[in-house]
Amino acid sequence: MTALRKWLFSGLLVLVPLIVTLWVLEWVVSTLDQTLNILPASWHPDAWLGVHIPGLGVAFALIVLLSIGALASNIIGNKLVHWWHALLHRIPVVRSIYSGVKQVSDTLFSEKGNAFRKALLVQWPHEGMWTVAFLTGAPQGDLLEQLQGQPGARAPDDRFISVYVPTTPNPTGGYFVLLRERDCVELAMSVDEALTYIVSMGVIVPGGPKNPKIKLAATPAADVS
């Protein structure tokens, strides 16, 4: 039974990462293949090839992105982009959504963008419980004045920072919080190492052994009498 259990877990360690990787790739390819639906039915590759070839949507999406990027990089395209942005900013409901999404995308995808600046260690969700978070910026204006006026703040020399606390194993979901800088500990690990640590749920420790042996300290049994 011991050998069977060992073989079972060894097989899972080999197959699970492979299956998840293939599933993600299949989802990405099938999603990008939907971009072919913007073409007329007679222009679909399936129509004139007579057979469906997975992945053609990926190539088509890449061509569209490169074309739009090349168009937006020249003078005429740049003016069209500015005109399009100005038009969207005049629509009441669309303006608030578009401006917020554009600021986030500019931060994430710009060559000079740096959404996560540093990896931090913060107490979350309560004192005595620690987690890894990311520095995203610092509050300004009225928000900073309100924070410095809160009890316990040493205004005006008490600094506050904007922090993103991700969830695990999916770091795209999380919480945005404002903390005192003195309550955060800057980590030596890079942002990429911190993300790997979060996604792996603490299994992959930056700079540590691959399979650390952990032995919990014995605690006395609680008296339930």
pLDDT averaged over the chain? Answer: 79
pLDDT tens-digit profile of 35-66?
A: 777 777 777 777 777 777 777 777 888 888 78
Indicate left, alpha or beta for 50 from its phi (over 0: left) and psi (-120 to 50: alpha): left
> H-helix or E-strand containing 137?
strand 130-137
User: Radius of gyration of the chain from Cα atoms?
Assistant: 25
Q: In a 10 Å sphere around its CB, with 0-12 CB exposed, 13-18 middle and 19+ buried, how is residue 199 labelled?
A: middle
**Residue of higher predicted confidence among 213 and 89:** 89
Where helices occur in 74-176 by DSSP H, the ranges are 75-88, 92-109, 141-148
Mean pLDDT of 197-201: 87
- Asked if 189 and 207 count as a contact pair (C-beta separation under 8 A), the reply is yes
- Count of other CB atoms within 10 angstroms of residue 12: 11
**Residue of higher predicted confidence among 175 and 67:** 175
- Asked if 132 and 120 count as a contact pair (C-beta separation under 8 A), the reply is yes
Residues 6+ apart with CB under 8 A from 94: 88
Which range among 72-76, 99-103, 215-219 has the greatest average pLDDT? 72-76
pLDDT class for 133, splitting at 50, 70, 90? very high
For residue 178, list its beta bridge partners.
162
* Spans of all domains in the chain: 118-199
Q: Is 192 helix (H, G, I), strand (E, B) or coil?
A: helix
What is d(CA 28, CA 67) in angstroms, rounded to the nearest whole number?
Answer: 21
